[in-house]
């Protein structure tokens, strides 16, 4: 039997994960900037999580590399199962084929700049990155990697989005990055 306290906590967790892992299809009426800001927070340092940042980033980079190869099957498998279930197979296919794969098709490498914040309601990180296209042009994107069901998964990808106050800015002297301290 579930106690009222346990039920209440379970409901809160389910609602938080639903809000966090929402795909662009589920966020009609909001801007990409609003999505980027709502899914992250300035949190007190969690030193256990800080030590895991590289592992989460490797998932983000693996996803981007698969997308650059046009590997829709792998990118679909790396998405949050909860988000994929809500979006449905057709929604996931439209998201990957219509936004993610075309964006990363010209990927050459990651730019040397990344800003990182914690995700709002689930263990994980938001990575504010740039890709360098084969033409040498840089394009910004945001990728959210969270822990869901004991696995690290991609909760959302926002392409061609520069988030002021989150992305580093390329200036004549190099990179100017936000100060989250």
CA pair distance 178, 126, nearest whole angstrom: 14
> What torsion do the CA atoms of 175, 157, 76, 146 make, to the nearest 10 degrees?
90
Q: Using the structure block, give the residue that is written with the tokens 């360098």.
A: 132
d(CA 103, CA 64): 10
State the pLDDT at residue 5: 38
Pairing of strands 169-171, 138-148: unpaired
pLDDT tens by residue, the chain, 181 residues: 433 333 333 333 333 334 334 433 333 334 444 544 444 544 455 556 668 899 999 999 999 999 999 999 999 999 999 999 999 999 999 999 999 999 999 999 999 888 899 998 889 999 999 999 999 999 999 999 999 999 999 999 999 998 988 888 878 877 788 877 6
Distances from the Cα of 30 to the Cαs of 33, 35, 74, 139, in angstroms? 8, 7, 28, 21
The answer to whether 76 and 92 have CB atoms below 8 angstroms apart is: yes
**Nearest-CA neighbor of 120 among 8, 43, 9, 31?**
43
Q: How many residues are present in the chain?
A: 181
Q: What is the pTM of this model?
A: 0.73
Domains of the chain: 4-176 (3.10.450.100)
């Amino acid at each position: 039997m579930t106690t009222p306290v346990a039920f209440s906590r379970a409901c809160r967790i389910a609602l938080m994960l639903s809000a966090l892992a929402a795909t662009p299809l589920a966020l009609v009426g909001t801007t990409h900037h609003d999505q980027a800001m709502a899914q992250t927070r300035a949190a007190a340092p969690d030193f256990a999580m800080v030590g895991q940042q590289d592992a989460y980033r490797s998932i983000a980079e693996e996803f981007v590399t698969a997308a650059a190869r046009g590997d829709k099957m792998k990118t679909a498998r790396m998405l949050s199962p909860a988000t994929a279930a809500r979006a449905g197979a057709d929604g996931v296919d439209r998201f990957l084929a219509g936004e993610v794969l075309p964006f990363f098709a010209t990927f050459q490498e990651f730019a040397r700049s990344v800003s990182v914040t914690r995700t709002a309601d689930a263990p994980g990180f938001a990575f504010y990155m740039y890709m360098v296209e084969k033409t040498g042009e840089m394009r910004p994107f945001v990728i959210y990697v969270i822990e869901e069901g004991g696995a690290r998964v991609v909760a959302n990808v926002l392409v061609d989005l520069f988030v002021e106050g989150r992305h580093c800015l390329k200036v004549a002297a190099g990179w100017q990055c936000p100060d989250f301290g």
